[in-house]
Structures are given as structure tokens and as C-alpha cells.
């Protein structure tokens, strides 16, 4: 690789406006709230929904859950809940003070609390209303590979636990500290290692530090006419190192690939030294590729410090689209035929009827000509085309590529859709549906303030199993909810988010009204566990992209042979015999 051809971008500039909330999802300046007249609105100015009044949202929620949600009846947060006293190893602190500056060490209780959790409902409920329990005793902010290596050496020498921290967006309990751990626990926050070290436009690669946040990567690469193409739902806050550690998938994986397809090389600080290759080639056949052990390792084998990734030119054309189908089954069959025809857009997502209705409540009331047009469209869809509002579903599309590629994909996709009763619903609905991904992430924490607990879980499965899994998970959750005599009705919805030639990824959302329910967070976990058993019983995977962490580790014996479990344990013991990377994920 010719060094004189490389581009060296400056580090991203972090501003005060980017401050994140310590107790809820997202930016500190953005949240949903009730107006004085009891209408939901989104505060701030970052998103398309910001400042809009969503008059239909609360009535719809009450109707679906069959409860009355009173904006004045607030379940007030007690954040920050109890913060335990830190355990300290003085010899370790003396050792790291030699190579870390005082501003790289943070003992603040709320900072420690934030580094001890991700974004599961259980963790968020605990920091607001209960107690998280064991948390890191110290947060450190390394600046370089050398500092990370020295940090690992000091942890080995003084028997201290290290837990890597990226964006803190995981939904697997991966950051929760083992309750019985009596050693000092240190959270290694990688976000100061956030530079694009170099861009090689000739070979279409970049070397990027592991703490680089998705939103900065997208913006910086775009300045050079490039993209990595990896956009998970959490792209605004998650990091490159986190994507690798969880084996992540992005919304545009159809065009660019999942994270394992995009990483050419990586560097990891392990308990046994640095794991890396001395050169970077498109492909190698050199025996077992030990770097692949790091994908999905969830912080148990080392700290990822950087990666070399593939790059793509920014697409010549980006177009949005949407299609409505008479039923979920029609939309499913369209997606299957589209995948087998090889005409898959960069992103294609199908939501069920309940989620389609939810999306409609997030549309501000139309005025004037827009309102007249909306009524006309509704009349045409329901009265002329005969779509049933209680069954119809929606699909959003993102096409990217050259002008010819996009035009060809559009022709093929809409032709296949027509064969399944699909009807074009416009580019604006597609654009809006895609962008809503970022703003609706805030709704879960808003509703928690009003006694509604909710979370997502996902799976991947073969085409032949998808409809059965979807139907049976919903059926068993409804039945178990009723059996337990819980309030009202639960909210259970799904969408197909990723398409493969052999199958799909299904994303479920589940929530319920919990006022008067004892320990609602635990009740939710019990119900999700029942749903997960049903998924596995019908042939679904344990996870598609969220990972295992601690929340799903008990299921590993159901999906792995004894030999597989043994190998995982032996790899951990061989590479980290002291359990320095002691997050406790995956039963390790």
C-alpha cells in the first residue's frame, strides 16, 4: 500500500450539542413529552417529528392496550438510583497513572453508572426505579493502541477486570457487571479513539479506530465521496468496535453487507498481546483466521482498537419507495420472490398491520390541500382497491446505486410486488418510514414514564419458518399475558427487517401497561423468555444481530452441541486464563 496516496482526515469535532442523556436513549436535548393539552410532541429540533403534535398517538395507545393512560399520572424516575462505593486496587491505579493523564480517569458515580448498563428494558428500569447493582469502579479513556496495551498489562499484573465500552447501545445486558465480582472493574471507554487514521481511495479501504461513532463516520467519509454503508438502527450512537464485538447488521446490508463482510482486518489488545496481521490483502488462505474469533465476542477476548474496512463510492442515486399489501402474508411472499430473483434494494422492511397503524399515528394532522389529498388517497385504497384497514401492511424501500442500477431494481421490485397485490405508496412514505427509525427509538423511554414497559427482540429464520414463527410468538404472548391476568392487552408487533436468499430477520416489539404489576421488569423478562423458547422451537436463531450477552446465555445449550460449548470455554480459558475480560457474557 502506497503511503503517499493516503488521506488522513482530522479527528471529528465533538460539540456540547451532542451530549447524550445519562438515563434515557439518545441526545440530551431530545425527548417525547406531553403538551399542556395532553398531546404528545417531540422536543428538540433534530428529527422530522421534532416540534410536531401527534394528536392520534395517545388515543391509539389507549385503544390498543385497552387502558387509560393519564398524562398527569407520572411514574417519576429516581435517577440516579443507588451507586455503590467503588472497589479500588491502589497498585493498579498507581500503574496506570504512569501512562494515563488525570483527565483520562473518571471516578464520578453517574459516569460509572452509565458505563454499567446498555439499553435493555431491565437496565433502564433499574436505573430509574430500582438498583442496577454492581457497576464499574472506574472509567478510563485511552487515546492510543499503546495505552490500551499498557492498560491490559496493568490489569493482568494487578488482577483487575476490563470491560470495553463503545456507545452503550447494546440490548443484551453485555455491559452489566457480574454481581459476585470482587475484583476492581474498569470500564474502558473507547470513544476518544475515534479517528479515521487513513483513507485509501485507490484500494477503497480505510483504517478506523474502534471508538469512532457511526454518525461521525457517515459524515466524514461522505466528505470524500465515500461510504462504509453500515447503518444499524443505532448508527447515531454505536461505534465501529461495538459493531464488530456484537457481529452487527445494518439497514442497508443488502447492498453493502453485514459487518463481517465489511471488515478486512482488525487490531485487538488481548491478554496475550496484540492480535493483528502485518499486511492487508483482499483474501487469504493461511489456515484458521483467528481474527474471526473477535466477531461477536462481546468484550470477552480483548479490546478492539481499530479495523480496516471496505469503502464504497457514495451512490450516484438514492431513491425511496413504499408499497402497501393487502396482508402480511402477501408482503412476505413478495419479499421471498424478490430475494430469489436477486432484485433486492439496499434496504427493504415489511411491517405488520399493528406497526403500520402505529406509523400512521406518528403523522401530524394534515392541513388544507394535504388533508384533502390524504382523504382522497384513503378513499382510493380502501374503497376502490378494497384493502382492509385491519389487515393491510406497508413495506419501505431504499434504492442505492448508479442511475441504471436503481431504475432496473425499481422496475423489477414493483413488477414482483404487483404480482402479490402490492400497490405503490410513494417515495415520500418510504423516506419518512426509513427516517422514523431514529426518532421512534425515543418513544420507549417516554412511555416508561407512564407505566408502559416495552422492548424489542429479534431472530433470523428460513423462509419456510418465518410465518409460523411470527404467528406463534404473537399467539403465545397473548395467551400467557391473559393467563397471568395482566392489565388490558399487550402490544405485540413485528417487522421483517433483513432479507437473505435463504431467509429473513424478524424484529418483534412487545410491551404492556404495568401499573399495579409487581416487578414489571421481571415479568417482561419472563414473557420474553417464553417467546424466545417458542422462536427456537420453530427453527429461529437465538439472535440475528443483537448478540447473546447475559440475557440469552442460558439458551446456548439449546443451540450448540456440547463440543461447541466446550470449544468456546477452552478458547476463553486459553486466551484469557485470568478472566481479565470478565464481563461474563456468553457464559464465559
Catalytic site residues?
507
Where do we find the cell 484500494? 203
Dihedral (Cα; 456, 457, 460, 463), 10-degree rounding: -60
Nearest CA to 327 out of 381, 387, 384, 377 is that of 387
Nearest CA to 141 out of 175, 91, 212, 191 is that of 191
- Secondary structure class of 450 (helix, strand, coil): coil
Grid cell, residue 166, equals 463503545
Distance from the Cα of residue 320 to its chain's centroid: 22
Nearest CA to 169 out of 124, 127, 229 is that of 124
Q: Dump the DSSP string for 453-504.
A: EEEEEEEEEEHHHHHHHHHHHHHHHHHHHHHTT-SS--EEEEEEEEE-SSEE
- Tally of CB atoms within 10 A around 450: 18
How far apart, in whole angstroms, are the C-alpha atoms of residue 526 and residue 555?
Answer: 14
Distant-in-sequence, close-in-space partners of 495: CB < 8 Å, separation ≥ 6? 349, 350, 351, 352, 355, 506, 507
How far apart, in whole angstroms, are the C-alpha atoms of residue 6 and residue 8?
Answer: 6
Kind and range of the H or E run holding 446? helix 443-448
Q: What is the DSSP letter of 511?
A: E
Kind and range of the H or E run holding 265? strand 263-270
Residues of 304-341 as b/e, b for ≥16 C-beta within 10 angstroms?
bbbbbbbbbeebeeebbbbbbbbbbebbbbbbbebbee
Grid cell, residue 251, equals 439497514
- Tally of CB atoms within 10 A around 362: 21
Grid cell, residue 478, equals 397473548
Where are the extended beta strands (E) located within 92-182? 105-106, 138-140, 161-165
Q: Are 88 and 137 in contact (CB under 8 A)?
A: yes
Q: Is the dihedral of CA 486, 487, 489, 492 positive or negative?
A: negative
Grid cell, residue 235, equals 448508527
**Furthest-apart CA atoms within the chain: distance in Å:** 77
Q: List the alpha helices (DSSP H) in 223-266.
A: 240-246, 253-256, 259-262
Amino acid at each position: 500500500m502506497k503511503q503517499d496516496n493516503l488521506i488522513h482526515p482530522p479527528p471529528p469535532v465533538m460539540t456540547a450539542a451532542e451530549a447524550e442523556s445519562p438515563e434515557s436513549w439518545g441526545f440530551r436535548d431530545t425527548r417525547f413529552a406531553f403538551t399542556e393539552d395532553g398531546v404528545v410532541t417531540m422536543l428538540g429540533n433534530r428529527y422530522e417529528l421534532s416540534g410536531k403534535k401527534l394528536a392520534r398517538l395517545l388515543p391509539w395507545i389507549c385503544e390498543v392496550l385497552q387502558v387509560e393512560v393519564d398524562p398527569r399520572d407520572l411514574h417519576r424516575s429516581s435517577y440516579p438510583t443507588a451507586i455503590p462505593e467503588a472497589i479500588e486496587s491502589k497498585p493498579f491505579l498507581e500503574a496506570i497513572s504512569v501512562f494515563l493523564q488525570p483527565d483520562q480517569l473518571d471516578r464520578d458515580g453517574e459516569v460509572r453508572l452509565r458505563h454499567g448498563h446498555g439499553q435493555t428494558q431491565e437496565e433502564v428500569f433499574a436505573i430509574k426505579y430500582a438498583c442496577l447493582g454492581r457497576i464499574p469502579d472506574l472509567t478510563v479513556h485511552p487515546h492510543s493502541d499503546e495505552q490500551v496495551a499498557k492498560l491490559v498489562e496493568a490489569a493482568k499484573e494487578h488482577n483487575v477486570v476490563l470491560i470495553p465500552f463503545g456507545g452503550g447501545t447494546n440490548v443484551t445486558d453485555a455491559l452489566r457487571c457480574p454481581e459476585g465480582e470482587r475484583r476492581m472493574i474498569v470500564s474502558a471507554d473507547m470513544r476518544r479513539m475515534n479517528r479515521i487514521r487513513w483513507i485509501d481511495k485507490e484500494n477503497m479501504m480505510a483504517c478506523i479506530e474502534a471508538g469512532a461513532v457511526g454518525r461521525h463516520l457517515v459524515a466524514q467519509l461522505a466528505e470524500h465521496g465515500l461510504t462504509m454503508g453500515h447503518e444499524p438502527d443505532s448508527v447515531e450512537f454505536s461505534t465501529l468496535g461495538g459493531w464488530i464485538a456484537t457481529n452487527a447488521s445494518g439497514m442497508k446490508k443488502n447492498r453493502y453487507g453485514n459487518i463481517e463482510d465489511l471488515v478486512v482486518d482488525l487490531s485487538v489488545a488481548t491478554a496475550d498481546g496484540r492480535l493483528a496481521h502485518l499486511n492487508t490483502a483482499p483474501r487469504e488462505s493461511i489456515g484458521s483466521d483467528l481474527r474471526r474469533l473477535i466477531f461477536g465476542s462481546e468484550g470477552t477476548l480483548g479490546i478492539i482498537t481499530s479495523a480496516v474496512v471496505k469503502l464504497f463510492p457514495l451512490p450516484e442515486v438514492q431513491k425511496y419507495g413504499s408499497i402497501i399489501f393487502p396482508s402480511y402474508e402477501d408482503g412476505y411472499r413478495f419479499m421471498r420472490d424478490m430475494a430469489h430473483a436477486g432484485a433486492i434494494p439496499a434496504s427493504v422492511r415489511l411491517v405488520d398491520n399493528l406497526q403500520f397503524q402505529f406509523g400512521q399515528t406518528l403523522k401530524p394532522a394534515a392541513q388544507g390541500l394535504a388533508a384533502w389529498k390524504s382523504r382522497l388517497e384513503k378513499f382510493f385504497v380502501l374503497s376502490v382497491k378494497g384493502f382492509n384497514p385491519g389487515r393491510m401492511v406497508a413495506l419501505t424501500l431504499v434504492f442505492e446505486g448508479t442511475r441504471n442500477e436503481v431504475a432496473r431494481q425499481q422496475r423489477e421490485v414493483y413488477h414482483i410486488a404487483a404480482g402479490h397485490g402490492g400497490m405503490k405508496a410513494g417515495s415520500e412514505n418510504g423516506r419518512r418510514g426509513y427516517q422514523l427509525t431514529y426518532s421512534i427509538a425515543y418513544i420507549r423511554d417516554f412511555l416508561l414514564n407512564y407505566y408502559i414497559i416495552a422492548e424489542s427482540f429479534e431472530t433470523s429464520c428460513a423462509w419456510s419458518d418465518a410465518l409460523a414463527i411470527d404467528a406463534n410468538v404473537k399467539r403465545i404472548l397473548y395467551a400467557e399475558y391473559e393467563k397471568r391476568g395482566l392489565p388490558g392487552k399487550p402490544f405485540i408487533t413485528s417487522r421483517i427487517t433483513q432479507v437473505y436468499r435463504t431467509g429473513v430477520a424478524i424484529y418483534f416489539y412487545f410491551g404492556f401497561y404495568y401499573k399495579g404489576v409487581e416487578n414489571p421488569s421481571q415479568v417482561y423478562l419472563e414473557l420474553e423468555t417464553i417467546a424466545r423458547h417458542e422462536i427456537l422451537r420453530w427453527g429461529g436463531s437465538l439472535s440475528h444481530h443483537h448478540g447473546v450477552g447475559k440475557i440469552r446465555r442460558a439458551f446456548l445449550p439449546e443451540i450448540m452441541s456440547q463440543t461447541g460449548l466446550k470449544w468456546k470455554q477452552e478458547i476463553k480459558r486459553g486466551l484469557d486464563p485470568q478472566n481479565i475480560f470478565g464481563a461474563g457474557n456468553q457464559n464465559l
